[in-house]
A = this chain, B = another copy of it.
Amino acid sequence: MTTRTAAHRRVDGRDSYQARFTACPVNRLIDRIGDKWVAVLLNELAEGPRRYGDLTRTIAGASQKMLTETLRHLERDGLISRTVTPAVPVRVDYALTDLGRSLLPVIEVMKQWAEENIDQIDSAREAYDTRDR
């Protein structure tokens, strides 16, 4: 059987597509900063270094697990640093690295666009939801 349906082509294309997808820098960046708590976290650390406890209080909406997980991911990617000060009790500080700081202007651009256009999105959304069906 040499018949190739659309489904077949899709399956065949998936692997190579996945490769291209994850290789694409933009997608990788979005994968990273798309995590739910990354934006808030970076925003908070932009103000200066923070201790773990500070973050759990400031970002009260996130569970401990999510916070720790997000911090680990960002640390792994070199966007933030984690400094342990041996003492009793232990003290851990998180701060933006140079790489992390270089990302802030990018976020600022996103913020600009978002603030300027949020109204249009809202009204588009409302129009879509209330249109005749």
Contacts and interface: CB of A to CB of B under 8 A. Distances in A.
Contacts of A18: 61
Interface string A1-21: 000001001101110011001
A106 B26 CA distance: 11
Contacts of A32: 121
Given A109-B106, A113-B102, A124-B99, A118 B60 contact: no
A12 B57 CA distance: 11
If over half of A's interface residues share one DSSP class (helix, strand or loop), that class is named, otherwise mixed; here it is helix
Given A6-B56, A21-B40, A76 B26 contact: no
Interface in A112-127: 113-115, 117-118, 120-121, 123-125, 127
Interface residues of A, number: 53
Contact of A75 (B13, B30, B128): B128
Given A14-B61, A25-B114, A29-B113, 10 more contacts: A10-B61, A12-B60, A25-B118, A26-B107, A29-B114, A30-B110, A75-B128, A78-B125, A102-B117, A103-B117
A113 B25 CA distance: 9
